[in-house]
Amino acid sequence: MSMDLDAPVPFTAQDQVAPTILCCNCGTPIDGTTSANALCPDCVRLTVDISEGIQREAVIHTCKDCERWLQPPTSWVSAALESKELLALCLRKLRGLSKARIIDASFIWTEPHSRRIKVKITIQQEAFQGSNTIIQQTFEVEYVVASQQCPDCQKSFTPNTWRASVQVRQKVPHKRTFLYLEQLILRHRAHQDTVNIKEAKDGLDFYYGQRSHAEKMVEFLSSVAPCKVKKASELISMDIHTSTKSYKFTYSVELVPICKDDLVALPIKLARSIGNISPLTLCHRVGTAINLLDPNTLQTSEVPTGTYWRSPFRNLADVTELVEFIVMDIEPLGRSNGRFHLAEATVARASDLGSNDQTYFTRTHLGGILHVGDSVLGYHLTGANYNDPNFEALEASNQYSSTIPDVVLVKKHYTRKKNNKNRNWRLKRMAREHEEEALNGTGAVGGNRKQEQERERLEADFEMFLRDVEEDQELRGTIEVYKARQQAAAGGMEVDEDSEDEGVPKINMDELLDDFDELNMADDE
């Protein structure tokens, strides 16, 4: 076999060599068929800026009152600082960012009071049209935090902008019920949608921008307290062309005028229908119904809301009429009902000690906590004149007239040597406005005196409520009790400010909650 060495050799597709050119910057050989601008990949990364056209500075608006952020055009969203919700809002604010692929985004720490937010963003994109080179770049964007009031907060500072109101009333001489109701509202955050809260005579007024929010509050009040609701509407405006009408709605919520520790004289017919309980009872709790206790037998019963409003009755005496007694002798009878223990006690009025030897014999439900020499508060029925038809019917009845005791003991009284304002715990309060009452021609001096008396009465009611919280563990379980600021700042160490008051109930630090907002505020200061 012979081979012609001079014969031409045919070329295949694999033997074809791609044309190469030199990079116009560094002279590196590159593929001329894929490079559109005669630049090598390294020079492309150094010279091409894919973040060009993306904003590096922007303005983000927040409302100082509700701490929400504006999401254009008209939405307001809640987001904490350095949260993923706020990061998404910041990224949506940048023009031109949608053309690139976002690889990573994170916040850069700034001073809390600088009113600046910095975000570090990493993106990927082709170097230019038709290029196979993918470039990844990282850049920073600075946002200026500007203040702008949201429409909801504007309504709260502008009169006549509410669309629905809830008027809560209770006709009693003290504010203990509203103080407890306030704590329930704060615990369940039922006041978040309110436009404004005003304190009026015998109650509170809640104002809302939407009717549904007012109805939600009415449902909450009906679920925690026995009440009666009335609804009224007022036509504000009407468009005759489209038949569009605008109304203002008012919900009147009336709470039952029966409070904890009140002495109640029931109608005899009603007392027989709810378990044949004695008509003369104590109200030991008010929840969704009125819970009554007979201190002579420890029998308990409850009056549902519907039953009460079908045959309403008032209390015979309230906590403002309590009298202090001293326990001279007490003997347990061995009968108990939950936390109540029946006992026979001999008591004397604290004001009679040293002047006469008058004593009173009675049965009480406080046999588990009373001892000889203790002080106890109760109602003195001997010689009392009550203008109440139910009590008069009780006195006229042959069956119940002999069961009326001389004294009805209510709760143990703890003698405090001072008005303790340095407790290791505290309660939150709602922000509200006070209604300014007309002076009715009494002059400024009379008006100031009246306001001072009202302020002293409110302080006395609040102090009474605080003592109830200290003494009643069941009451504390339904509300939120926070550590005082000095204890929270000191890391929860208990400081006994009232060591002089021996025997006075105190709240353990384990039952107290930390308010993290105020802890952060203390750290900033």
DSSP secondary structure letters along 150-202: -HHHHHHTSTT--SEEEEEE--SSS-HHHHHHHHHHHHTTTTTTEEEEEEETT
Q: What is the pLDDT of residues 186-239, one digit of tens each?
A: 999 888 888 888 888 888 999 988 899 999 999 999 999 999 999 999 887 787
Q: What is the pLDDT of residue 497?
A: 47
Q: What is the mean pLDDT of residues 265-273?
A: 91
447 vs 439: CA distance, rounded Å: 6
Percentage of the chain modeled with pLDDT above 90: 28
| Torsion of Cα atoms, 300 then 306 then 309 then 315, to 10° | 20
Could you give the 3-state DSSP secondary structure of residue 314?
A: coil
Residue 444 phi, psi (nearest 5): -65, -35
Structure tokens at 345: 């006690």
Whether residue 62 has pLDDT greater than 70 = yes
Q: What is the mean pLDDT of residues 503-522?
A: 68
DSSP character string of 342-394? EEEEEEEEGGGTTT----EEEEESBTTT--TT-EEEEEE-TT-----HHHHHH
Whether residue 506 is predicted with pLDDT greater than 70 in this model: the reply is yes
**Does 52 or 492 have the greater pLDDT score?**
52
Other CB atoms within 10 A of residue 506 CB = 14
Contact 328, 357 (CB under 8 A): no
How confident is the model over 468-486, as pLDDT tens digits?
A: 888 888 888 888 888 887 6
Report whether pLDDT(45) > 60: yes
Sheet of 263-265: strand order equals 300-303, 290-293, 280-286, 263-265, 315-317
Residues 251, 333 contacting (CB under 8 angstroms): no
pLDDT of residue 111: 87
Nearest alpha carbon to residue 263 among 105, 388, 109, 422: 388
Q: CA angle at residue 496 from 490 to 500, to 5 degrees?
A: 160
- Band the pLDDT of 498: cuts 50, 70, 90: very low
Q: How confident is the model at residue 442 (pLDDT cuts 50, 70, 90)?
A: very low
- Tell me the percentage of the chain whose pLDDT exceeds 70: 80
Q: How high is the pLDDT of residue 508?
A: 83
What is the side-by-side order of every strand in the sheet holding 75-78? Answer: 75-78, 68-71, 57-62, 134-147, 116-126, 101-108
pLDDT, residue 504, reads 78
The pLDDT of residue 241 is above 90: no
CA 41 to chain centre: 60
| Confidence category of residue 4, pLDDT binned at 50, 70, 90 | low
| Beta strand pairing call for 68-71 and 101-108 | unpaired
Residue 234's contacts (CB-CB under 8 Å, 6 or more residues apart) are: 247, 248, 249, 250
Please determine, for residue 339, whether its predicted confidence score (pLDDT) is greater than 50.
yes
Q: What local confidence, expressed as pLDDT, does residue 244 receive?
A: 81
Across 120-124, average pLDDT: 88
* Average confidence (pLDDT) over 357-366: 91
Residues β-bridged to residue 280: 265
Contact 415, 505 (CB under 8 A): no
Which positions ≥6 away from 483 have C-beta within 8 Å? Answer: 424, 425, 426, 492, 509, 512, 513, 514, 515
> Which amino acid, residue 252?
S
Taking CA atoms, 355 is separated from 50, 328, 407, 519, in Å, by 98, 16, 19, 55
- Average pLDDT of the segment spanning 344-365: 89
Q: Residue 61's closest CA among 151, 192, 157, 191?
A: 151
pLDDT of 294 reads 93
Task: Please give the mean pLDDT across all residues of the chain.
Answer: 81
Structural tokens at position 286:
């008010």
Q: Among 1-5, 49-53, 80-84, name the one with the lowest average pLDDT.
A: 1-5
List the structure tokens of 393: 């019917």
CA Rg value for the chain: 38
DSSP, collapsed to helix, strand or coil, labels residue 270 as helix
Tokens of 164: 């629905």
Q: Which of 83-97, 230-244, 261-275 has the highest mean pLDDT?
A: 261-275
State residue 42's pLDDT score. 66
Range of lowest pLDDT (12-16, 81-85, 145-149): 12-16
Interval 304-338: pLDDT, tens: 999 999 989 999 998 889 999 999 999 999 899 88
pLDDT at 403: 82
* 443-471 helix and 176-187 helix, angle to the nearest 10 degrees: 60
- Give CA separation, 315 vs 259, 401, 503, 514, in Å: 8, 18, 31, 39
Residue scoring higher pLDDT (14 or 283)? 283
Residue 399: predicted pLDDT: 83
Contact 270, 285 (CB under 8 A): no
**Structure confidence at residue 251 (pLDDT):** 95
The answer, as to whether pTM is greater than 0.75, is no
Mean pLDDT of the region 245-251: 89
